Structure 1
């Protein structure tokens, strides 16, 4: 089964409508199934932006280096899985120099309106958050705070780093305590809208929870297309269920946008209203045809 079968199933409850109106509904739903998410990623040099993307998504994003930054400007990558695609905007790391940060500010402002969300990576052992705070306040501002998801990476480097459990691959009790303090400091300093996530890409720790949090932070229309790009390891039932629910709500929103058309005859509006819940239910049942 494919998306054409899915659209055909969705079209059946709309058969009583004039063709121009049913096609308008289907076009709205088709745009949801073809949506291409745009994910930004930012942070200081060496925080592991490319490594995180390579860990989460099925296609490699950009070269990874343990020594110097690989990305000096805003790099755009298009991930392609079958007919589905997604864009990663790899933004240059802040904190290299005051001059560069001023130059980068306009670059961030250019991209922020275009992304669905930005993963802002912070080093777990970095005590200097003044630059991040300044950027968050002056560049992100109130307008785009809802688009920022802070991710603390390299938690395996938190002191006492020698206590990291290498067998179970998770922090020791003392490391977890220190991490909790770190997360609390970030929340008090930056007042983020979304939960602050903590991961160790190197140890593959915390990535499942990050993905689940990311799905809750994305716009509804972006969750299902993004899920298709994730590595199978992170496409668990909770993530799939969330994506299905978001798709259902998005289809309902598409129906509402047609129902609310000005000058739509009352009789046609009534047919659309009656068909809405059926269309939503069918869209949910054929979700896997699209994604």
Structure 2
């Protein structure tokens, strides 16, 4: 810990000690909730779309095993990524599109879990000609009450988009023609699914566009969970943009908690004016020590 961080931590404790007991307890309770929050992220999509491979690339050590056998995850499987006392749970759902009988079972699983997840990452194969099963299943979930903003669609296996032999293996990026085709595919996905968030094309195998997609993931997550998710990302994917987005979200929510705690005092005058002046100093300290919390 640097001297500046140590000084800020001491200042943080000093500020807390000057707060009225009710404000102090309210703040500590909600801050602890956010700091210790355990996110749940679901992975959905067609069998063979590369859901498990994506998990293996995002987090270190890899939380999910990869199996090339058809329908290797026919039941919901939970995988955990643990850092110290903090845990992220990945809920890997069976892939749709194998048989009509299995699809009926899978849709019920999706419907049972969707409301319990912070976000659902829906994986679509970039080289897939049609996403009919995905579209049908997605609409059924929406009809069952799922919210469009709870889904983040991603195009996987971008390196397999035609003309696949033109992939630039040296630089791990698509050729100009592939890039054009990927842009067309992402626009198509955004239109067909009426996606609430940008659709990004990635390749887990080639580590293509993963940083861009993770930055979108952090922006898409509920603000109370993005910092908790960021601590579990592979170090290479924890970019400055990811850290700043997660940190500022945490600061914003902390400010809202502070305001609610002060308003709950149901008093006015000198004390409230003092607390409101203290607010900016408090949030400045939170911003500085965020990296120590996550």
TM-score of the pair, normalised by structure 1: 0.92
In structure 2, stretches of 5+ residues that fail to align are: none
The alpha-carbon deviation at position 6 of structure 1 amounts to: 7.5
Residues 23 and 207 of structure 1: is their aligned pair in 2 closer, same or farther, counting only changes over 3 Å?
same
Matching residue within 118, 121, 130 for 1:119? 121
Distance 1:4 1:107 in 2: 48
CA deviation vs aligned residue, 1:43-62 (integer Å, no higher than 9, x gap) = 11111111100101012222
The CA deviation string for residues 5-31 of structure 1, in whole angstroms up to 9 with x for no partner, is 977643422434332431221221121
Tell me, yes or no, if the aligned pair for 2:148 and 2:195 is still in contact at 8 Å.
Answer: yes
Q: In the alignment, which residue of structure 1 is the partner of 2:134?
A: 132
- State whether structure 2 residue 28 is matched by structure 1 residue 26: yes
1:216 CA drift (Å): 0.6
Residues 6 and 289, structure 1, Cα contact 8 Å, conserved in 2 = no
State the match for 1:64 in structure 2: 66
Q: Unaligned regions of 5+ residues in structure 1, if any? A: none
The residue number in structure 2 matching 1:82 is 84
Structure 1's 27 and 271: CA in aligned 2 closer, same or farther, altered over 3 A? Answer: farther
Tell me the distance in 2 between the aligned counterparts of 1:191 and 1:70: 30
Report deviation, 1:72: 1.0
RMSD: 2.2
> After superposition, what is the alpha-carbon deviation per residue over 1:131-186, rounded to whole angstroms, capped at 9, x for unaligned?
11111111134642101110100111111111111111111111111111211211
Is contact 1:43-1:49 (8 Å) kept?
yes
Given the alignment of the two structures, is residue 147 of structure 1 paired with residue 144 of structure 2, yes or no?
no
**Aligned residues of 1:252 and 1:280 also touching (Cα < 8 A):** yes
Where 2:101 maps in the other structure, the secondary structure is helix
Is 1:258 aligned to residue 261 of structure 2? yes
SS of 1:79's partner is strand
Task: Tell me the equivalent position of 1:248.
Answer: 251
| 3-state SS of paired residue (1:23) | helix
Partners of 1:39 and 1:117 within 8 A in 2 = yes
User: 1:187 is matched with which residue?
Assistant: 190
TM-score, normalized by length of structure 2?
0.91
Distance change >3 Å, CA 83–CA 164, structure 1 → 2: same
State the match for 1:178 in structure 2: 181
The equivalent of 2:39 in structure 1 is 37
State whether residues 78 and 87 of structure 1, in contact with CA within 8 Å, keep that contact through their aligned partners in structure 2. yes
- Displacement, 1:77? 1.6
Alignment partner, residue 93 of structure 2: 91
- CA drift of 1:93 comes to 0.9
Q: Secondary structure at the match of 2:47?
A: coil
Distance 1:272 1:112 in 2: 40
Runs of 4+ in 1 over 6 A off after TM superposition: 2-7
1:64-85 CA deviation, whole Å, 9 max, x = no partner?
1234232111111221012221
Task: Indicate the SS of the match to 2:195.
Answer: coil
Three-state SS of the structure 1 residue aligned to 2:62 is coil
The aligned residue for residue 223 of structure 2 is 220
Partner of 2:242: 239
Moved more, 160-169 or 103-112: 103-112
Aligned to 1:105: 107
